[in-house]
Amino acid sequence: MNNEPLHLGKALASFDALWSPRIAARVNGYDVRIAKVEGEHVWHVHDDTDEFFLVLDGELRISLREPAGERTVVLPKDAVFTVPRGTEHKPHSSSGAAILLFEPTGTPTVGDRHDEVPDHVDATTGHTLSM
């Protein structure tokens, strides 16, 4: 991390990998991660932490398995949503999106419990942003 302002557009332009978040900043033990996404992630659960999403560009859908049943939230550009801890969810985007996430440092992208991880999903705790 450096001590200079970060332009998110330039940061997003510095990598092409999908579902492979880069750590843009750290705040009080949390990573501020940015990612490019397209297609489907994997059904997963974060047992001990909420997961915050902000859509920077495009549209993101997040399917949720909740006690009342399954539903999907639609997040257009500039929308935010928090998946509550312990909620099974699967982000996906048919047209592609750029997103920003807040998660405690060290949180795996595939959660604590998950389906089989497909090849196009990077099971990571975030990569260093190199520009």
DSSP string, the chain: --SS---HHHHHHT---BT--EEEEEETTEEEEEEEEEEE---EE-SS--EEEEEEEE-EEEEEEETTEEEEEEE-TT-EEEEPTT-EEEEEEEEEEEEEEEEETT--TT-SEESPPPTTS--SS-EE---
Q: Which domains can be identified in the chain, with CATH numbers?
A: 8-128 (2.60.120.10)
Q: What is the pLDDT of residues 55-101, one digit of tens each?
A: 999 999 999 999 999 999 999 999 999 999 999 999 999 999 999 99
pTM above 0.85, yes or no: yes
